[in-house]
Structure 1
Amino acid sequence: MLLHVDEEITFRKLEILLAFMETGNLARAAEKLEISAVSVHRALHSLETGLRCALFRHEGRNLHPTEAAHALAEVAREVLRTMSEGIRATREVAGYSADRIRIGSLYSLTSRTVPQLIMGMKLRKPDLHTELVLGSNAHLLQKLRDGAIDAALMAIPEDVSDVESEPLFEDDIQFAAPVGSPYSALDQIDLSSCAGERFVSLSEGFVTYRGFVETFRIAGFTPNVVMKTDDIFSLMNLVSGGVGYTLLPGRVRGVMPQKVQLIPLQPRYLMRQTIALNFLRTRERDPNLLALLSVCRVAKAELG
């Protein structure tokens, strides 16, 4: 059966009815709700129109509730309480102001950025439980849109209008080679001279892979990629083992194997990533995200 409530009956008008019933006076109800007495009177009259029955008796300028008004007020309290609980439960399912926050991150940010931000959140909201989800830029963006995570630490996505980004730092792509390779003594790498070398790379979807492809486009050749991986730490181990060269962001320098070195590329190959905290615009007032934003802004000076 299709349930129908007249459009004149709204949650706001029920709130006004309850305020009037509690105060017993138009002026006091208006003061409590921070609206005009005229607005209170109009809302009460509109409820009568929607219900098609009288709720009040007029005695001069005063309104006296009828038994019908008391009956409606009793129902209104229950309806508003139920709706308030429903909104709270819905927000928790969506992650809004829940007792946990789900943060997505690139693998390369887990050695420094992620721990610093999580510790900052622990200090700001000690009772908030943090869950970490790792993946590529493309993977994290999809999870963000699906509601599977609340925020993503990754490169700023291109050409999107539904995501808000708070930049944290910029990072340059560099040439990664085994220590002792023919390139070890160079101050800068001319990538066009490496056309005959073997390379390893991340899979598609990672922001570093996108930079990898663009940098070789500038160099004017397609690299001989002998292996791809979905893990930047595995990628560094492949370089360490002599499987191939690659391009890596400078932020991994502190966690690289001892047998791997990063060498700057010549300026014409400069490829820069902007790492940011990303979240849906529809969630921009979420208290947990606002707390995370504050932590990010404090940490920005140290991460840059």
Structure 2
Amino acid sequence: MVNESGPAESAPQLAAHLAPALALLRAVAAEGHLTRAAESLGVPQPTVSRTLARLADEIGTPVIARQGRGVHLTRAGQLLAAAAADALRTLEAGCREVVEEIAPERGQVVIGFQHTMGATLVPSLVRGFRADHPQVRFGLLQGPRDEMVAGLRDGRIDLCLISPPPDSPELEWAALREEPLLAVLYRDHPLAHRSGLGLAELAGEDFVVTRHGYGLRQIFTDLTDRAGFEPHIGFESEEVDTVRGLVAAGLGVALLPPAVPEAIPGTVEIPLDPPAHRTVCLTWVAHRTLPPAVRAFRDFASRRRT
């Protein structure tokens, strides 16, 4: 619904008015509680109960069952909720497009990004965009590269900042920056005085790396394959700051983009010879219609190489 001051409902709430039974069923599945499900969709709790009761009458079997103070879906309810998920995501996307078409400057952009991009790149892009679009809202999600791409595909995320770029015909991307990758060594390492290092010179070292599913791990594996050796993994971590800390403690070496604003105490960062880099890109689903605010941010970021 729209009032005189602009859009008053979220896309899920608008979709709930258009497809109430299935939208409510999905909300109950997510919340496990009738009152919380009603609140999430902006409808009264008795409406949820009556709608689900009518749905049960229509199909001839209950779709929810009591469980303590909450509820859970029956097998029939689970099947209906699963079948409705894709249709409702499509409907919500269309509702969101309508809402933002009416008032594009009140839209929302949900960006997913890898942890290493949250310190400087994301704030810089959001600040630059909001200088001309002050009312656009942002949702920010960070995590491993594979998790962010999965969120992009299933519609939870509008745009992703990832590296390396995707290799899939269903995803499009624009390069935003090239970042050097450096050998990060503890200060007293025998090679810490060098001005450049061949990656193969580190073949006998213990490496501190990010876990599988993270972009830096994929790049690291590709680089060591090209250098002709299988690295020994000493430690795996989900956080680059932890990787740097383990290197500073003398527990291994790492390949990372430059620290911001400078190398952390106890470490040195040495360029690779030949140089290595990672391409940071903005990614979106190729054939999905993007809402106006999302399109505007995509175009802004794509033009602004940093």
| TM-score normalised by length of structure 2 | 0.63
Question: Out of 286, 301, 306, which is 1:296 matched to?
Answer: 301
Conserved? CA contact 2:216–2:256, under 8 Å: yes
CA-CA distance at 1:103 after TM superposition: 0.5
Name the CA distance, whole Å, in 1 between partners of 2:303 and 2:168. Answer: 26
CA distance in 2, matches of 1:88, 1:106: 26
Decide which of 271, 274, 277 is 2:276's aligned counterpart. Answer: 271
Partner SS state of residue 282, structure 1: coil
Corresponding residue for 1:91?
A: 95
Superposition deviation, residue 88 in structure 1: 7.6
User: What's 1:205 paired with?
Assistant: 213
Q: How does 1:127-138 map to 2 (within 5 A)?
A: 127-138=135-146
1:240-264 CA-to-partner distances (Å, cap 9, x unmatched) read 22221011123x3425423222111
Determine the C-alpha separation between the residues in 2 that align with 1:152 and 1:95: 23
Q: Distance between the aligned counterparts of 1:95 and 1:134, measured in 2?
A: 26
Is the 8 Å Cα contact of residues 168 and 274 (structure 1) preserved in structure 2?
yes
State the partner residue of 1:257. Answer: 264
Change (3 A) 1:137 1:89: closer
TM-fit CA distance, 1:292: 0.9
Contact 2:165-2:281 within 8 A present in 1 as well:
no
Structure 1 residue runs without a partner (length 5+):
1-85
Distance 1:256 1:287, change over 3 A: farther
Secondary structure of the residue that 2:116 maps to in structure 1?
Answer: helix
State whether residues 179 and 259 of structure 1, in contact with CA within 8 Å, keep that contact through their aligned partners in structure 2: yes
Deviation of 1:202 after TM superposition, in Å, equals 0.5
1:45-79 Cα deviation digits (max 9, x unpaired): xxxxxxxxxxxxxxxxxxxxxxxxxxxxxxxxxxx
Q: Which amino acid aligns with 1:265?
A: L
Change (3 A) 1:140 1:236: same
1:120: how far off?
A: 1.8
TM-score (normalised: structure 1): 0.63
1:188 partner SS: coil
Partner of 2:200: 192
Report which of the two structures shows the higher radius of gyration computed on alpha carbons.
Answer: 1
Q: Any idea what SS the aligned residue of 1:273 has?
A: strand
Amino acid at match of 2:261: G
Q: What is the CA–CA distance in structure 1 between the aligned matches of 2:164 and 2:289, rounded to whole Å?
A: 16
SS at match of 1:226: strand
2:226 aligns with 218
Structure 2 letter corresponding to 1:92: R
Q: Is 2:113–2:160's contact at 8 Å kept on the other side of the alignment? A: yes
1:266 aligned counterpart, secondary structure: strand
Q: Does the 8 A contact of 2:165 with 2:279 survive in 1?
A: no
1:60-99 correspondence to structure 2 within 5 Å: 90-92=94-96, 99=107
How has the CA–CA distance of structure 1 residues 295 and 89 changed in structure 2, closer, same or farther, with 3 Å as cutoff?
Answer: closer
* Match status 1:236 vs 2:240: no
- How far apart are residue 290 of structure 1 and its match? 2.1
Alignment correspondent of 1:34? none
Alpha carbons of 1:297 and 1:191: their partners in 2 closer, same or farther (altered >3 Å)? closer
Coordinate RMSD, CA, aligned = 2.6
Where 2:230 maps in the other structure, the secondary structure is coil
Tell me by how many angstroms 1:272 deviates: 2.8
Does residue 148 of the first structure (1) align with residue 153 of the second (2)?
no
The percentage of counterpart residues that share the same residue type is 24
Equivalent residues of 2:263, 2:269 under 8 A apart: no
Residue in structure 1 matched with residue 173 of structure 2 by the alignment: 165
Alpha-carbon displacement from aligned partner over 1:23-46 (angstroms, at most 9, x marks no partner): xxxxxxxxxxxxxxxxxxxxxxxx
Query: Measured at CA, do residues 285 and 103 of structure 1 come closer, stay the same or move farther in structure 2, by a change above 3 Å?
Result: closer
